[in-house]
Structure 1
Amino acid sequence: MAPMALALILGWWLAAASGAQQLPPPSLSLHPSHGVSLGDAVTLRCHLTQSAAWVWLYKGEHWTYRKYKDEEEDTAEFSFESTKREHAGSYRCQYRVSWSALTSELSDPVELVLTDRSFPPPSISLSPAKRVGSGTNVSIQCWNQGCGADFLLYKDGCSAPIQRQDSNGGDAAEFTLLAVTPADSGTYRCSYRSRNHTSVSSPIGNNVTLEVAPTPAPPGGSEPPISVTCTLLDPSGDARRSLVVAVVRGCAAALVFGLGLYFVLDARSLWIRRDDSPGGEGS
């Protein structure tokens, strides 16, 4: 039975090695989460699901800082006392569990955007400027003082930009809201980001207010309640990456299972041949 035992041990080892890539990832958060200007203090907190010995903070594809964390703590903090342009960018974190060499997956990214108040805030206009009816197409134009940049459109009540547009080297961008409904009513503002520093933003400029008249309710009916809608940007493509990770995990699991099954069957066949041989146990 030695070959079969060896096969089972090998299969268990392969499964454990595959499981090392499936440790739950940590989560990363910014404090404050927005409105950070150059020179302000900011803290990135890596929240862990279990005790860890080391925590790494990555900026882009390369780790930037690492910290030893006490096992009693479930959060590791990385702080910038006075932010500079080089601190702006996309961050992730990762940890290693204290009782082995297993390393977690990377957290989802968070972007540290710094506001440079030396940039003049953009201007904004709304067309049509008066109250519009449901189904109308509305245009919101943002422009700056001759700085080619990417423009971002914000809606009050939403935590992130709802649209982004490249000015194509010009100084203006036009956002279109198609077939608006009362849920699109609200206050809109915009900002822009330098192409040389895509995580450095201008201050948010003045606002415009959109008012959408509801569609008349049918006789005897009632109008539905109006709520704020936020169709937020997803520039990181996390959903696509999650799908790829899931497929890779499935393939790895299938490979481990196939290898384990192969070794078990091969060991069983070897054992049967040994029993059937003239010098086997049944002779």
Structure 2
Amino acid sequence: MAPMAVALILGWCLVAASRAQQLPRPSLSLHPSQGVSLGDNVTLRCHLPRPAAWVELYKEGKWRSRKEMDQEQDAAEFSLTGIKQEDAVRYQCQYQGLEQPGTSEKSDPVELLVTDDRYPPPGISLSPKEHVEMGSNITIQCWNKKYGAAFLLHKDGHSAPIQHQEPDDGGTVTFTLFGVTPADSGTYRCSYRIGGCCLLFSPLGDNVTLEVIPRPAIPGDNGGASRDLVAVVVGRWVAAIVFIIILTISVLLVAQRRQMQSDERPGATSRSPEAVQFQVFPGDSEGLTYAQLQAVTPSTHPHGTSTTPEPPTIYAEVGMGGPR
């Protein structure tokens, strides 16, 4: 068991070391990337993330050629002249590190699509019509019964096909655009892959033009989205103000109820004006005379009872402004 454990540990260490030294993958591009026909010239460019000692090009997974590199180069170029049918395949590249030992993984594959002008272009039609409103569903049909193996839908301004589909038994495909918007407006064409060989395609066929008409604005709605935003903000402010008012009223009602409960308790002193005595004290240092004013308040109690309170005495200050 011990030798087996040691072997496992050593194997794990070797795998970890190889992963730590693994070089980043390169990337491969085509120039030109589209519109290549038989007989044209194409350049494949392998982009290097690290200095490389050499770069190799692979065609359908098989080695094709190698280029020696120096430290200053960050890309290697491979030229294909006089493109033939068998050149319309997938390509990859990889490199040997110059400063860091090891060989990188192969790049993601790129496809060299080649057009063969000897084949007839496909037919195309658009339904229901070329001018439609937003939200409509549009179908584009393409057909070529004799040669079509797979059809591609192209839109002007896009470097790659936007859809692809296998044809039915009659050699026809139907591409559907659901809920179209103004962004779907444009010119469309079809091509098809020629069955039996490589990445060989027919020329682009005739075009159809789609125009998506925006929905008319609602009458009286001149503000658009900005007005909707203002309405939302105002609504939230109004809701906040109403909440504050309700909260304030609730607090005041609770305070008033507590005050009423406190006044109704036994032994609570009455705050009748008849039981309040006011006294005013002199406000300066000069000798002033005081007059005692007595306010007689009619009693509400029957005569002869001993519980009648004494009339309150109110003191007032009279200032004599003249000389003494």
Using structure 2 for the length normalisation, give the TM-score: 0.62
- For 2:39, what is the secondary structure of its paired residue? coil
Note the C-alpha offset of 1:215: 2.0
Distance 2:136 2:24 in 1: 46
Distance 1:101 1:146 in 2: 53
Alignment of 1:242-281 (within 5 A): none
Match of 2:83 in 1: 83
Match of 2:136 in 1: 136
Distance 1:18 1:186 in 2: 48
- For 1:95, what is the secondary structure of its paired residue? strand
Runs of 4+ in 1 over 6 A off after TM superposition: 8-12
Match of 1:249 in 2: none
Aligned residues: 215
Cα pair distance change 1:15/1:130, threshold 3 Å: closer
Distance 1:204 1:151 in 2: 11
Query: Is 1:207 equivalent to 2:207 in the alignment?
Result: yes
- For 1:45, what is the secondary structure of its paired residue? strand
Note the C-alpha offset of 1:100: 5.1
1:220 aligned residue (198, 219, 222): 222
Match of 1:103 in 2: 103
Cα pair distance change 1:174/1:14, threshold 3 Å: closer
Match of 2:18 in 1: 17
Structure 2 runs not aligned, ≥5 long:
1-8, 226-324
Q: Confirm or deny: 8 A CA contact 1:149 1:170 kept in the other structure.
A: no
Note the C-alpha offset of 1:19: 2.0
- For 1:17, what is the secondary structure of its paired residue? helix
Alignment of 1:86-165 (within 5 A): 86-99=86-99, 101-144=101-144, 146-165=146-165
Match of 2:65 in 1: 65
Structure 1 runs not aligned, ≥5 long:
1-7, 224-283
The amino acid of 1:165's aligned partner reads Q
Note the C-alpha offset of 1:149: 1.5
- For 2:21, what is the secondary structure of its paired residue? helix
CA RMSD of aligned residues (A): 2.2
Match of 2:310 in 1: none
Note the C-alpha offset of 1:11: 8.0
Note the C-alpha offset of 1:63: 2.4
Kindly name which structure, 1 or 2, has the bigger radius of gyration based on alpha carbons.
2
- For 1:211, what is the secondary structure of its paired residue? strand
Q: Confirm or deny: 8 A CA contact 2:86 2:198 kept in the other structure.
A: no
Cα pair distance change 1:42/1:12, threshold 3 Å: same
Distance 2:58 2:124 in 1: 36
Note the C-alpha offset of 1:47: 0.8
Distance 1:201 1:221 in 2: 51
Note the C-alpha offset of 1:56: 1.5
Q: Confirm or deny: 8 A CA contact 1:120 1:145 kept in the other structure.
A: no
The amino acid of 1:64's aligned partner reads R
Cα pair distance change 1:20/1:59, threshold 3 Å: farther
Distance 1:141 1:11 in 2: 57
Match of 1:184 in 2: 184
- For 1:15, what is the secondary structure of its paired residue? helix
Distance 1:93 1:169 in 2: 39
Q: Confirm or deny: 8 A CA contact 2:30 2:45 kept in the other structure.
A: yes
The amino acid of 1:164's aligned partner reads H
The amino acid of 2:222's aligned partner reads G
Note the C-alpha offset of 1:110: 1.2
Q: Percent identity?
A: 57
Note the C-alpha offset of 1:13: 5.5
Deviations 1:88-109 (A, max 9, x none): 1111111110245411122222
Match of 2:228 in 1: none
